[in-house]
Amino acid sequence: MSSVLVFLEIKNREISRISWEAMAAGHQLAASLGVPVDLAVVANRDNPLLQTIHGKVPRTVYAIDDPLLHDYTADGYTTACAQLIEHAKPTYVVFPHTYQVRDFAPRLATRFQQTLISDVTGIEAGPAFTRQLLQGKLNASYHHSGSEVCFLSIQAGAFRADAAEAGSTAVEPFLPKLDATQIRTKPGEPFRASAQTVDLTSAPILVSVGRGIKEEANLPLVQELATALSAELAASRPICDAGWLPMERQVGSSGQTVAPKLYLAIGISGAIQHLVGMKGSQCVVAINKDENAPIFEVADYGIVGDLFEVVPALTTAVRKVKS
């Protein structure tokens, strides 16, 4: 019997939000196919987090458990998940598109001679799977061919987590056969780079700058606007990579997640890895010369124009009303 198997990820001692979104995607897919949903989590069957599973009620929750899975490794997870898939025989396997999933799911799919459909943003009739190309400037629709298992990973924020429904679920322990020699990498403890000296998350206004600024020497332009607005300065990744601003000011999946009252994105294209870090802002303003830049999809107000003209004009206008 066919089914949809959704993998949930535990992070910071909770099942991560993107996991609930992947679960919603899995339920939507399963409903369209008329098949049940099973869930899988790497956890001991007695882990209290399993009791926090909510949303639509699954058929079974598999608690994948082995001492060799306590620290994440691609080899350990690939082998354990492959064994569960062989056991549960799902038709679709759905993952949240996290860094951990990016690290092992392609390997897992390859073990089944399949290609993961990564970073899916929508599921339509067929089923057809939508994902973005060219950093969000193009959408592509794919289907899976053949009768083998199909692997998907779901982009953050693309699906809304389902509301909880009453009902209880059977937790079934799944004990994979793992051997320490199968695990060829030795992971170290996670650490943070350096002590944070700015707290972007508490700033009510962020003026955020991207590669459109072109050169480090142009940064005072946005700094002046930030000062005029009493805002903190933030940035997209390339600005911090270049060392123009410290990494603690980086917004996005590998930096800070912020939700200020106002987020002003200047010369930022709006790649998904940036958007996930600022989509929750109460008001987003984008200044970009490209009217098709994906940032405008999440902006409340937009100015299509050259930032080198617009930003100084804005600074002047802000100063005028403030004085």
Partner 1 sequence: MKIIVAIKQVPERDARIRIDSGNKWIDLEDVEFSMNESDAYALEEALQLKEAHGGEVIVVSAGPERAGKTIREALAKGADRAIHLQSSDETELAAYDALGVARLLAASIQDEKADLVLTGLQSDDLGLGQTGVILAELLGLPHASLILKIEVAGNGLKVLRELEDGWFQHIELATPAVLTIQSGNTKLRYATLMGIKKAKTKEVRVIAVADLVASDPSLKPTAPSVVLDQVKLPHKQRSTQLLGGSPAEAAAALVEKLQFEVRVI
Ligand X SMILES: Cc1cc2nc3c(=O)[nH]c(=O)nc-3n(C[C@H](O)[C@H](O)[C@H](O)COP(=O)(O)OP(=O)(O)OC[C@H]3O[C@@H](n4cnc5c(N)ncnc54)[C@H](O)[C@@H]3O)c2cc1C
Contact 93, 71 (CB under 8 A): no
Token digits of residue 74:
């691609």
267 binding partner (options partner 1, ligand X, none; Cβ < 5 to 8 Å by kind): ligand X
Token digits of residue 241:
């990579």
Measured from the CB of residue 298, what is the shortest distance to ligand X in angstroms? 13
Measured from the CB of residue 61, what is the shortest distance to ligand X in angstroms? 29
Q: Which of 259, 286, 277, 282 is nearest to 203 (CA)?
A: 259
- 27 is an interface residue for partner 1 by CB under 8 A: no
279 binding partner (options partner 1, ligand X, none; Cβ < 5 to 8 Å by kind): none
Which residues inside 298-317 make contact with partner 1, applying CB under 8 A? 299-306, 309-310, 312-314, 316-317
Contact 208, 264 (CB under 8 A): yes
Measured from the CB of residue 260, what is the shortest distance to ligand X in angstroms? 16
**Strand, coil or helix: what is 5?**
strand
User: For partner 1, which residue of 22, 25, 80, 109 counts as binding (CB under 8 A)?
Assistant: 109
- 201 is an interface residue for partner 1 by CB under 8 A: no
Residue type, position 15, single letter: I
Residue type, position 97, single letter: H
The H or E element that residue 41 is part of is strand 37-42
Q: Quick one: 165 exposed, middle or buried, by C-beta within 10 A (0-12, 13-18, 19+)?
A: exposed
**C-alpha–C-alpha distance, residues 60 and 40, integer Å:** 8
Measured from the CB of residue 131, what is the shortest distance to ligand X in angstroms? 14
**Strand, coil or helix: what is 135?**
helix
- 312 is an interface residue for ligand X by CB under 6 A: no
Question: How far does Cα 284 stand from its chain's mean position?
Answer: 19
- 106 is an interface residue for partner 1 by CB under 8 A: yes
Contact 53, 8 (CB under 8 A): yes
Which residues inside 230-249 make contact with ligand X, applying CB under 6 A? 236-238
Which residues inside 260-279 make contact with ligand X, applying CB under 6 A? 267-269, 271, 273-274, 277
Q: What is the DSSP letter of 162?
A: P
User: For partner 1, which residue of 110, 160, 199, 216 counts as binding (CB under 8 A)?
Assistant: 110
User: For ligand X, which residue of 253, 262, 264, 279 counts as binding (CB under 6 A)?
Assistant: 253
Question: How many residues touch partner 1 (CB under 8 A)?
Answer: 96
- Tell me, residue by residue from 183 to 212, as one string, x for binding to ligand X by CB under 6 A and - for no binding: ---------------------------xxx
Measured from the CB of residue 302, what is the shortest distance to partner 1 in angstroms? 5
- 308 is an interface residue for ligand X by CB under 6 A: yes
Q: Quick one: 146 exposed, middle or buried, by C-beta within 10 A (0-12, 13-18, 19+)?
A: exposed
Interface contacts to ligand X, rule CB under 6 A:
210-212, 236-238, 250-255, 267-269, 271, 273-274, 277, 288-290, 293, 306-308
